[in-house]
Each structure stands twice: as C-alpha cells, then as structure tokens.
Amino acid sequence: EPEVTQTPSHQVTQMGQEVILRCVPISNHLYFYWYRQILGQKVEFLVSFYNNEISEKSEIFDDQFSVERPDGSNFTLKIRSTKLEDSAMYFCASSSNRRAGSKETQYFGPGTRLLVL
C-alpha cells in the first residue's frame, strides 16, 4: 500500500541553525501539507501546497518557514533559524482529490521529531 515517507526520523539541532525536513508524498497525490505537534499538544496545520505553490498557511508559518518541491517526488520544509519552541514532531501529509468537499483523505507520514537545543 502506498505511503508517505519522511526523513530524517529524528533531528537534533542547535538554536539558530537551519533544518530541512524531507517528505515523499504518495505518488499520485496532488495536495501536500505540513503539520506539527508539540509534545502533549494537538496537531496543528502549518501549510498546504498545490501546483507548485502555497495554497494556505497558518499563523505559525512565518518568514522562518518555507516549503519547496524541488523535484517530482520530494516535498521539503525548511526552518531558517530554529528556535527552542520549534521543537515538535513534524508530519507531512498528502491527498489526491481535486474536488473540495469530497472524501479527500489526508494520509500522514511517520513524522520527523525535531529537537532544538
């Protein structure tokens, strides 16, 4: 069964450093998402991406964040200068259906646990 994959599974970085989190969405999917989950808190939406551009972003997704689809398979989230409060599990998700309101299930990857020291 196709699945979303993410690398690395764990990342430890120093405050102020740049990190890039990588995702390979399900191959025929058109919509891509990043969510994060701070330990013990709810899953929060960061950004959605379609047709090589951002379609929606939340207040969390400030200028420190960027997303890119550098080739036909990868979807990346970059945090330019990490802060302590960026420590969280970052989930990539993808979905396929063009038509909003249909059963467009988002499938989540296993996540990258980011720890900023």
Partner 1 sequence: GQNIDQPTEMTATEGAIVQINCTYQTSGFNGLFWYQQHAGEAPTFLSYNVLDGLEEKGRFSSFLSRSKGYSYLLLKELQMKDSASYLCAVRGSARQLTFGSGTQLTVLP
Residues that bind partner 1 (CB under 8 A): 31, 33, 35, 41-45, 48, 55-56, 58, 89, 91, 95, 100-101, 103-111, 113
CA distance 11 to 59: 24
Joined together, the tokens standing for residue 102 give 């249909």
CB of 62 to partner 1, least distance (A): 17
Q: Which is nearer to partner 1, 82 or 95 (CB)?
A: 95
CB of 78 to partner 1, least distance (A): 19
CB of 16 to partner 1, least distance (A): 27
CA distance readout (Å), 67 to 2, 3, 20, 50, 58: 23, 20, 9, 11, 13
